Amino acid sequence: MYCSNCGSKIDEGTKFCPSCGASQDVNNESTTGNTVNEIKTNIDKGKRSGNLYQILGWVSIVISLFFLPPLFGAASVIMGYLYRDHEEKQGTIIMIAGVAAAVFGMLLGTATFY
Q: How far lies 19's CA from each of 4, 23, 51, in Å?
A: 12, 11, 27
Residue spans of the chain under pLDDT 50: 28-32
Q: What is the DSSP letter of 12?
A: T
pLDDT at 28: 47
The domain spans of the chain are 46-113
What pLDDT shows up at residue 6?
A: 77
pLDDT at position 45 is 64
Per-residue pLDDT at 30: 44
How far apart CA 63 and CA 56 sit, in angstroms, is 10
pLDDT of residue 48: 58
Q: What is the pLDDT of residue 26?
A: 54
* Overall pTM > 0.95: no
